[in-house]
Amino acid sequence: MEKVTIVQQYENLLTKYDFTPDEVAFLTHEKEKVEKKNAAKSKATEKDAAIRAERGEKVLAFLSATPNQIYSPTELANKVDVGMEVCSTSAMTAILKPLLEDGKVKKIKDKSKVYYQIA
């Protein structure tokens, strides 16, 4: 069974039932608000992708400079300038994730701690 979206539900209502002009205007307006909200969510632009890639390259360059050293996300957040005013540990982990998936960085688990090293 295919999932029906809110926008589709509004369209179904407008086509299946007879509404007064005010009701039609209201439903149309509500449908447009949902469409606008959905469009705003999915705007991961090329610029965003380029910024993420650039940050990843900066981290990769730092790790490449010290190939035998392992770093925690906190250490990397403090040592690598990724172009963010403040880089949190979770932000650094998000930067490291695509590098890890591409095999450029390896993850080392030591008890409850996680470290990263150039692959």
Domain count for the chain, please give it. 2
Among residues 55, 41, 42, the alpha carbon closest in space to that of 98 is found at 55
C-alpha angle with apex 101: 70 to 107, nearest 5 degrees? 25
Residues 107, 74 within the same domain: yes
Per the structure, the complete domain to which residue 88 belongs is given by 46-118
> Same domain for 62 and 90?
yes
Both 62 and 34 in a single domain? no
Instruction: List the CATH number of the domain containing 112.
Output: 1.10.10.10
Specify the amino acid at residue 37. K
Query: Is residue 118 within 8 Å of 65, Cβ to Cβ?
Result: no
What is the per-residue pLDDT across 64-118, written as a single tens digit (0 to 9) for each?
888 888 888 888 888 888 777 777 888 888 888 888 888 888 888 888 888 888 8
Inter-residue contact 76 to 62 (CB < 8 Å): yes
Residue 87 shares a structural domain with residue 64? yes
Instruction: Examine the domain organization and report whether 85 and 110 are in the same domain.
Output: yes
What global pTM score does this model have? Answer: 0.58
